[in-house]
Every structure is written in structure tokens, then in C-alpha cells.
Structure 1
Amino acid sequence: MNSDGGGERASVALRVFGGQLKLFRELASLSREELGRRLGYASHTIKSYELAQRIPDPATVERADELLGANGVLRAAIPLLDEVRYPKFFRDLPKLEMKCMTRYSHDPHCVPGLLQTEDYARAVMGWRVPAFTEGELECHVGARLDRQVLLTREDHPAVHFIVEQSALERPMGGRKVHRTQLERVLERTQLRNVSLQVMPTDVEHPGLDGSIVLLETTEPRWLGYVEGNAESQLVSDRQKVRNLTQRYAMMRTQALSTRESTEFIEKLAGRV
């Protein structure tokens, strides 16, 4: 959330939606456990929706509206929930990710959000200044985890990460959280459509300005996204995107191979 009133608007939107969800659930004489079972979630997830601690994805809202006979009342909240799901500076990227065919990223500071465990994500966001409220923190963590469906989508988009060695070595959340996070990275990179390369700390490369994301859309067309210090920019100019693509291609040649990267992470995780 940001300081322009977005946090307050998000809080109101979530509370209103949560109250409506609870009302329609009770009118349908369903417990949280039963609604969760029908939607494919645990009861604590339904509770988090009703208490405005987490934002449901549009498909879940659609199913809940139909299941509870809300006649479009819950569905009408989808655009507003989508607007407040992410910080203002970040909102374009998740929307584009939902439809992308290919996604490449250079992550210089921490493990990529698409690979983060819940505890690691909470540790990363917990260091934000000014600090999130507990409700805002839970919403952002939930939204980050929801984005990870990209990795297991049925159309198997190609996803590639270049991650700085120092980002993998930084023990966010403590030793246990850090090791669990490394195991998650190793698990996810076993997916056929997911690959990762580690950029050694002692290598000079052209990606020192900040993180880069490159997306190939279904048109097809390539788009870029650059971010640094809570500021971001969607790049659509073809020449600028071409420059980012060339930069990323160079970094791929400088990073460890995928096999060497796996071996490095296994060693870091204490497997060998």
C-alpha cells in the first residue's frame, strides 16, 4: 500500500467485501469449513477473506458469487479488489503475467517472489519502511503467493530467473526459513518450464541498475518492466525493450549454467 490514500481505500474495500462474503455465507447456512470445502480452500482461508486479511482471486470470487446465490453482488467487487491487490507502482506486472507466454527476470536483492515461501515473503516484506500494518502485510503476502500459479499454469509458460548469489545467501527470516526457501527453489526449478541461473558475486555484468522483467505476450510482443526502490516502470517502446533484452541475454552468458546453479544451491542448502 502507498501513502496516497491507497492503503485506506484498500482497507475499506476489503472490509466491505469481507462483510458481504460473510453475510451471503450465513444466509446460505454454510460454515466457513463447508464453504471452504466447496471452493477448495481451508476454513482459515475463508476466515482471512472475511476478516479482510487476504484478497481472493477473481475466479474464487466468481465461484463464491454463484455458490452463495449473491446475484452479482460479490462479482461486482472484482475490479476494485484487483485494483488494491498490489501496491500502485506494481499493479501492471501481475496483470501481464496472467497472460504471458514467456517471463524472464533478473532478481538482484532476494529470492524471486514467484519462488518465495510464505515465511520468506513475510520476512522480506516485514522489513518495509514505513512498515505495513499487520492486515496490509497479510494481504501483500497472500497476493504474492497467488501470483505463483504462473509456474504451474496448464499452458506451461517458459519462466527463467537470473538470481544474484548474494540474494540466495541472504538469510531472510533466519536459518530455518532460509533453508526451507532454498529447498523451495530447488523444488520449483524441477518443473520443466522453470529454469534458474545464479549470477556469481565476483562477476561484473550489465544488470547493476536494478531488477528487470521481460514478458512475451500472446500477440506476440515483448514488454519490459524495471524496478528499484519502490519505483517501477512498464517499458513498451520497442527499442528500449530491445536494449533490455540484449542486457538480459548478456547476463545469461555470464551466469552459472543451470546445472552449476543447482549444484550451488544444493551446497548452500546443506544437501552436499
Structure 2
Amino acid sequence: MVNADGNGERVPTALRVFGGQLKLFRELASMSREELGRQLGYASHTIKSYELAQRIPEPATVERADELLGAKGVLRAAIPLLEEVQYPKFFRDLPKLEKKCTKRYSYDPHCVPGLLQTEEYAIAVIGWYIPAFTEDEVARLVGARLDRQAMLTRDDRPAVHFVVEQAALERPMGGRKIHQGQIEKLLEWVQLRNVSIQVMPTNVAHPGLDGAMTLLDMPDQRTVVYVEGQAHGLLVSDREKVNRMTQRYGMIRTQALSLNESLQFIEELAGKA
């Protein structure tokens, strides 16, 4: 899903302030973007995107930049604020939980799940938001979406399962070339042992008609559910409601194509896209 920040700001003030501070300390240190990028392990255009408030750096990157530029903790102090504004306000709880969860399951009816999107596909999806985002806003939102994908390959990676509607996979977001690249990327993702995808055939009636849902198993044995609609999201932790949604998701899984059938469908779609 695509949304502006929940407080109405298209580019949060905290992000603009951090970008200005990073540029100021870099210039005070007489360091070019190329040099700073080289020491941080990034290209110069990435440093530029940080300074222009187009993308949010990881906390470790901010820590290292603070040290390299002699900022004496000024840049480091922005880390909590940057973590808060990285995602739309209504969505922020989900990425935090994803970093800790042991298992993640989702049902996605409209498009390829954000955790599996290519950069080009994400740009196409976000580009359809009304009112339209600026180029800088698109870059920031796409960057945040791609950053979330680190959970799929982290050392303590969780088991991640997706049920995706057939129509969502067939919808050619961005045109034929981008769609082709996205379907091929799905075939790469499913090579990871912790990632599995099932396809829900269009001609199957099932209990997922209320919309997308994400279930997360946490280290403390709790399961929480995140549901999302037009410009709003809701985190559900009430045990009875979670149980109902868990049952619902279980039924959705049983009605979808098997893992092997789903893989075959995606492979066939890759040949047609």
C-alpha cells in the first residue's frame, strides 16, 4: 500500500533537518560526497539522497557518519526520529515488529507484496498514489520499502509465507518489462529456504474478502495481526480476534494452490509476462 506520512507532511521535518545537518558537517569536514560515501561503503548518489531527504540511512550508517564527520553526537541524536518517520505513521509498527518476529505470514490481494518487490515495480506501484508524490517522495518511500527486505536474509531470518492473489501477480504494474522483471524476481525469492509463496486462483471463493492481512509470531509466543485499508492500518493483539484471523488465514492457505503448483504457475507466468 502507498500513503503519505500520517501527520500530513509529505517530507517530515526531522528528515529535512537531518539531511541539512549531514551536509553541513560534511562540508565543515571538507569532505566530498564521494569521499564520505567511500568511507561509509556507499556511492555518492546515496549520500546525496540522504542530504536531500530522499532516503533514510540505517542507524549504523548514522553512527559511523557522526564519527567520521566529528559531529559529536548531533547526527546520532537523530536516529530515534529517523526511525519514526521512515514509514507512514499508521504503518510504523509493522516494520518494528518485522525486525523481531520469528514467523511472518501475509495475504496480499492487490499487488506483489512489498517485501518481494523490485525497485522498478515499487516505483510503479507508488507512482499510482493520488494525489501524486514528488520524485523525492517516491525515492524516499521506495527506499524504505526496499530496506524492509533485509528481514528476508538476516542471520536470524524468520520463516516468511505469502498467499498472493492470481490477479495481483498478473497485473502488469509499470508495463511488460517491469512486470517481467518482477515475476523473475519472485522466482529468485522462493529459492531462499525461509520464503514460500502460494497463489490464490481467481476462480476460488475464500474468506479473505475483507482485504490484506499480515500475521507475525513474536519471540514471546504472542501472535499479532496487522490489517490495512485506504490510508489507515490497525495492529490487532486481542487474543480472540487474533485467533479468528489465524483461523481465517489457515483456511486461505488450504484453498490456495500448493507450493509446487504455485511455483509452476509463477514459472509459466514468467514465460508469458
Q: Same fold (TM over 0.5)?
A: yes
Q: For this structure pair, what is the TM-score category when the shorter chain's length is used for normalisation? A: over 0.9
The offset of 1:231, in angstroms, is: 1.8
Tell me the equivalent position of 1:212: 213
For 2:29 and 2:41, the matched residues in 1 are separated by 17
Tell me the equivalent position of 2:53: 52
For 1:188 and 1:67, the matched residues in 2 are separated by 36
Question: CA, structure 1 residues 153+3, in 2 after alignment: closer, same or farther (shift >3 Å)?
Answer: closer
Task: Please tell me whether residue 5 in structure 1 is matched to residue 8 in structure 2.
Answer: yes
> Which shifted more, 158-167 or 129-138?
129-138
| CA deviation string 1:190-230 (max 9, x = no partner) | 10111110011011111111100001111121100011122
| CA deviation string 1:237-258 (max 9, x = no partner) | 0111111111111111111111
- Spell out the pairing of 1:78-227 with structure 2 (5 A cutoff): 78-227=79-228
For 2:249 and 2:154, the matched residues in 1 are separated by 24
| CA deviation string 1:52-90 (max 9, x = no partner) | 111112222122222322111111111221221111111
RMSD: 1.5
The answer to whether the 8 Å contact 2:6/2:88 transfers is no
For 1:170 and 1:84, the matched residues in 2 are separated by 30
Question: CA, structure 1 residues 159+51, in 2 after alignment: closer, same or farther (shift >3 Å)?
Answer: same
Gaps of 5+ in 1: none
Task: Please tell me whether residue 252 in structure 1 is matched to residue 253 in structure 2.
Answer: yes
* Same amino acid, percent of matched pairs: 73
The answer to whether the 8 Å contact 2:5/2:87 transfers is no
| CA deviation string 1:26-64 (max 9, x = no partner) | 233332222222222221111110111111122221222
Tell me the equivalent position of 1:74: 75
Tell me the equivalent position of 1:14: 15
For 1:259 and 1:5, the matched residues in 2 are separated by 44
For 1:107 and 1:175, the matched residues in 2 are separated by 21
The answer to whether the 8 Å contact 1:195/1:258 transfers is yes
The AA in structure 2 aligned to 1:100 is C
Question: SS of the counterpart of 1:30?
Answer: coil
The answer to whether the 8 Å contact 1:6/1:84 transfers is no
The AA in structure 2 aligned to 1:234 is L
For 2:96 and 2:260, the matched residues in 1 are separated by 32
The offset of 1:124, in angstroms, is: 0.4
- Tell me the TM-score normalized by structure 1: 0.95
The answer to whether the 8 Å contact 1:33/1:42 transfers is yes
Once superposed, which parts of structure 1, at least 4 consecutive aligned residues long, lie more than 6 Å away?
none
For 1:152 and 1:68, the matched residues in 2 are separated by 31
The offset of 1:236, in angstroms, is: 0.5
For 1:103 and 1:236, the matched residues in 2 are separated by 15
Give the aligned length. 270
Tell me the equivalent position of 2:268: 267
For 2:141 and 2:130, the matched residues in 1 are separated by 14
| CA deviation string 1:99-151 (max 9, x = no partner) | 11111000100000000011100110111112122222111111001000010
For 1:59 and 1:219, the matched residues in 2 are separated by 26
For 1:81 and 1:184, the matched residues in 2 are separated by 29
The answer to whether the 8 Å contact 1:54/1:143 transfers is yes
Question: SS of the counterpart of 1:269?
Answer: helix
For 1:4 and 1:155, the matched residues in 2 are separated by 33
Question: CA, structure 1 residues 239+181, in 2 after alignment: closer, same or farther (shift >3 Å)?
Answer: same
The offset of 1:2, in angstroms, is: 4.1
